[in-house]
Structure 1
């Protein structure tokens, strides 16, 4: 029986093998944040000479890549990228996700929007029939925390401030439990339209394009629009 860390190791290596054939000396990758992505970065390091560099969704990932000799670019200096590789806290069968357990959801959403393909890397425990068991992270401007909380409660959620945590954008996170997310795209749009919300952790309007799932029987690859 593989441990969760071994499952993460397997899917991280599979993600590197997935992108390697497409790398050129001019390629810039988008790289996310989290424990599985940490392993992906470590697996990617030995291949740093095969591509130009990466854009990161967090200071944490930027520091890890820089330490391995991978050049980190500012997104403002990048026109596009073939892949954005990141994990998820939950992912459903339609490739909609909850992300933001590490607090980098806004930057993750921004970097992902520039990539041609979002490659989600998860272990099998993250696959769900319906999103919402994992509390939904919502990044908020601090002065709006209480007003946003009241509106999230009206949606049926139970918001709680993530204590002793500030995002890379100097904002706060509300962890919202109890939401029934039957229509992830509609819920994402509704929450994002609340004044004071920077971004919510639903990635449904633009979900994953490719999902690599690490199981006890190997890594499965699923594509939203297989050719």
Structure 2
């Protein structure tokens, strides 16, 4: 029986195998944040001569890639990328996701928006029938914390500040439990429209293009509409 770390390692290696054929000497790869992405960076490092470098969604990933000898680029200098690789806290059959457990949700959305495809790497515990068991992270400008929390409560959520945490953008996180996420894209748009919200951790308006899901029987490649629970 593989433990969760082994499952994550298998997903990370599957992602390396998936993206390498997409990369050329001038390619910039988008890289996300989190424990599975850490393993992806480690597995990618031996192939660093095959592509130009990467753009990252967090200071943590940038530092890990720099230490591995992968050149890190500012996203402002990049017009497009063949792929963005990142994990998720939850993912459903439509490849809608909840992300932001590590607090990098805004930069993750920004980097993903420049990529031609979003490759989500997860272990099978993250694959769910309906999003929402994992509290939804919402990045908020500090002066708006109380006002945003009241609006989220009116949507049926139970917001709680992530104590002692500041994002790479200098903002705060509200983790919202109890939301009914029947229509992920609609809820994403509604929360993002609240004044003071930088963005919420729903990735549904633009979800994943492919998910590499690591389980006891190996890694499955899933696309929207192909998942059954």
Give the TM-score taking structure 2 as reference length: 0.98
TM-fit CA distance, 1:225? 8.5
Residue aligning to 1:9? 9
Q: Is the 8 A contact 1:85 1:119 kept in 2?
A: yes
For residues 202 and 22 of structure 1, the distance between their equivalents in structure 2, rounded to whole angstroms, comes to: 27
Give the SS at the match of 1:173: strand
For residues 52 and 161 of structure 2, the distance between their equivalents in structure 1, rounded to whole angstroms, comes to: 39
Give the SS at the match of 2:120: strand
Give the TM-score taking structure 1 as reference length: 0.98
Give the SS at the match of 1:152: helix
Q: Is the 8 A contact 2:135 2:175 kept in 1?
A: yes
Residue aligning to 1:83? 83
Q: Is the 8 A contact 2:93 2:225 kept in 1?
A: no
Give the RMSD, CA atoms, in angstroms.
0.9
Instruction: Please list every run of 5 or more consecutive structure 2 residues that lacks an aligned counterpart in the other structure.
Output: none
Deviations 1:78-104 (A, max 9, x none): 010000000000000000000000000
Q: Is the 8 A contact 1:118 1:209 kept in 2?
A: yes
Q: When you count strand as a share of all residues, which structure comes out higher?
A: 1
Residue aligning to 1:36? 36
Deviations 1:31-74 (A, max 9, x none): 00000000000000000000000000000000000000000000
Moved over 4 A (4+): none
For residues 60 and 66 of structure 1, the distance between their equivalents in structure 2, rounded to whole angstroms, comes to: 10
Deviations 1:138-168 (A, max 9, x none): 0000000000000000000000000010000
Instruction: Please list every run of 5 or more consecutive structure 1 residues that lacks an aligned counterpart in the other structure.
Output: none
For residues 222 and 199 of structure 2, the distance between their equivalents in structure 1, rounded to whole angstroms, comes to: 27
TM-fit CA distance, 1:223? 2.2
Give the SS at the match of 1:219: strand
Residue aligning to 1:26? 26
Residue aligning to 1:199? 199
Residue aligning to 2:48? 48
Residue aligning to 1:224? 224
Q: Is the 8 A contact 1:209 1:225 kept in 2?
A: no
Q: Is the 8 A contact 2:166 2:173 kept in 1?
A: yes
